[in-house]
Homo-oligomer: A and B are copies of this chain.
Amino acid sequence: MIKTRLQRLREKDTRRVVGAILAGKMLGIVGILGAMKVFGFLFETAAGASPVAQVAHEASDLVSPINTVWVLITAFLVFFMQAGFMALEAGFARSRETVNILMECVFDTCLCGVLYWAIGFAFQFGTGNGLIGHSNFFLHGMTPAYGTTGVAFLAFFLFQFAFADTASTITSGAMVGRTGFKGDILYSAAVSGFIYPIFGHWVWGPGGWLGNTMGWFHGLSGDAVFRDFAGSTVVHTVGGFIALAGCITLGPRLGRKFKKDGGGPTPAHDLTIGALGGVILWFGWYGFNPGSTLSAMDWVGIGRVAANTTLAACSAGMVAVLFVYPRSKKWDLGMSVNGFLGGLVAITCPCYWVSPAGALMIGAVAGVVVPLGIDFMEARRWDDPIGAVAVHGFCGIWGTLSLGLFATGQYGLPTADGADTSTVIKGLFYGGGTDQLRAQVIGSLTCVVVVFTVAMLVMKAVMAIRGPWSLRVEKDGELEGLDIFEHGTTAYHTEFGQGMTYQSPTGLFGMSRTLGRDDDADGDAPAEKAVPLEPSV
């Protein structure tokens, strides 16, 4: 190493230049180091620690702060999944529908926030009966903490809003590229405001029938009730099957050829963005699952949930890639991303109740469900551009059922004050019989049947609207590209040469048709008024 450097320095021209630079730099560094002696006071820093403690606290006063911090930070992570969905969906779709995807994610989030504030939260978490909640409309009647969670009411609201938003966004995945924006607003409002919160009440709401009594099915699963820790069913199966209903109702994008017709999925327009979106989702899942404890006092539980979430994702990502490798002899990036997402969806329901090894198994199976699910959609000629149905719908079912197999029988429920193991859940493989499995089948089937039916009705109804409020965009709009038609611009404009010349994907060799966004140009402003090619100052 030294020799090479010396040899390089011996080269004539280089030596002088590099030498001068280095000498100067080194002088500076030495000077700085020397100055440390002179300005020694800079290097002092406070020692010891004397906590501020004017106010006497009791330990119980600290439970709500700790739990609220935990729920808020995990809520932030769940919210950040929106960036993941945007990147994943946009990246895996075509460049012509990119702006549409981004806009739907942003607008649906805004819409969901307003609706969830007004009615969604009340339907889902308000007190009421087994079917629906009917208090806390417009967040009226808040208490400091929600229920017995010890978590600030509005922190709990934020966490649950982020969940509702997730369900809504999942839906759009299988409907990419041919859904009109007005149609999107209509069905999104139905999802965020009604379908998700009401089904959610059944499982998680106070007195919800699936989570408490099993209603009509009472007794069919022994004492076991349906359990879904963080929402394999409530969020992902719901989102996935609404997506399926939309996908079937819409039909495929124009020109889409399926595999059995000699075609295949459209290539991702930006795999970098798509894969980064997947990793952002994984990151956000650390809010989704561990945060669903709603309690940091159950500290062993949050550690277990976080580790199980990770291991299921790892095994699913690996298995999915290895599963498709033999057929294509290619290491499929898209499949690795959809694979680990499938593992994350699957572990979402059982994450609190299984062991790390169980999580690895659950993930591994999900890694097979994803490619088979995508094949199935392709075989049915259902055009799901990013695999949302396979990942969220099918893996959601698998994850929900897996609890009935893998629950270890050691864990009960987290509470504001720690883990409560007075009633534990035990699955088939751990000697618990089929009670829990039957409860899971009932819950999952209920979700698929009820949500899919309602979603088909909603989608068909919106589809039946004539004109621009229909679910499917006009044919001209789809041919032109949703981005231009609905949003007036394409996502990318690369400039070349000097001055203001752009190319866009739709006008590669000519001028962009969207330059200036002057749809509302008055016509009375002649071009010669343009700023001349001189700075004005």
Contacts and interface: CB of A to CB of B under 8 A. Distances in A.
B333 A102 contact: yes
Given A29-B368, A145-B300, A270-B272, 8 more contacts: A62-B62, A69-B69, A76-B306, A157-B307, A158-B303, A267-B493, A267-B502, A497-B506
A255 B516 CA distance: 12
**9 tightest A-B CB contacts, nearest first:** A152-B303, A113-B314, A155-B303, A251-B536, A330-B488, A261-B529, A264-B516, A154-B307, A53-B60
Interface in A385-428: 408, 410-411, 416-419, 421
Contact of A51 (B51, B150, B181): B150
Nearest to A468: B329
A444 interface: no
A302 B68 contact: yes
B59 A58 contact: yes
A314 B115 CA distance: 10
A531 B111 contact: no
B336 A110 contact: yes
B60 A51 contact: yes
Contacts of A536: 251-252
A318 B114 contact: yes
Contacts of A91: 272
A257 B500 CA distance: 10
Nearest to A20: B326
Interface in A327-354: 327-333, 336-337, 340
B114 A275 contact: no
A68 B66 CA distance: 11
Contacts of A531: 252, 254-258, 261, 381
A293 to B, nearest CB: 11
Given A51-B150, A524-B13, A318 B259 contact: no
Interface in A138-173: 138-140, 142-145, 148-158, 161
A217 interface: no
Interface stretch (A4-12, A122-130, A219-227, A233-241): A4-12
Number of copies: 3
Contacts of A327: 17, 21, 519-520
Interface in A14-39: 14, 17, 21, 25, 29, 32-33, 36, 39
B355 A44 contact: yes
Given A21-B326, A260-B525, A529-B261, A117 B311 contact: yes
A487 B51 contact: no
A76 B152 contact: no
Given A50-B144, A529-B262, A534 B82 contact: no
Nearest to A157: B307
**Dominant secondary structure at the A interface:** helix
A194 interface: no
A41 interface: yes
Given A419-B49, A525-B261, A537-B472, A356 B154 contact: yes
A251 B537 contact: yes
A258 B44 CA distance: 45
23 contacts: A44-B140, A49-B419, A53-B61, A54-B148, A69-B302, A72-B303, A79-B282, A90-B272, A95-B495, A102-B271, A111-B318, A152-B304, A155-B303, A155-B306, A259-B521, A260-B525, A261-B527, A262-B525, A263-B530, A268-B489, A269-B493, A332-B488, A481-B498
A491 B95 CA distance: 13
Interface string A103-137: 10111011111100100000000000000000000
Interface string A275-303: 11011101100100010000011011011
Interface residues of A, number: 234
B106 A279 contact: yes
A109 to B, nearest CB: 7
Interface in A439-453: none
Given A45-B355, A72-B302, A263 B516 contact: yes
Nearest to A336: B106
A50 to B, nearest CB: 6
Contact of A144 (B48, B59, B102): B48
Given A63-B57, A332-B487, A495-B96, A4 B380 contact: yes
Contacts of A311: 113-114, 117
A186 interface: no
A466 interface: no
Given A77-B76, A357-B43, A531-B258, A306 B102 contact: no
Given A257-B516, A272-B270, A315-B114, A302 B57 contact: no
A70 interface: yes
Nearest to A312: B113
Contact of A113 (B50, B310, B493): B310
Q: Which of A4, A272, A340, A524 has the most C-beta atoms of chain B within 10 angstroms of its own C-beta? A: A272
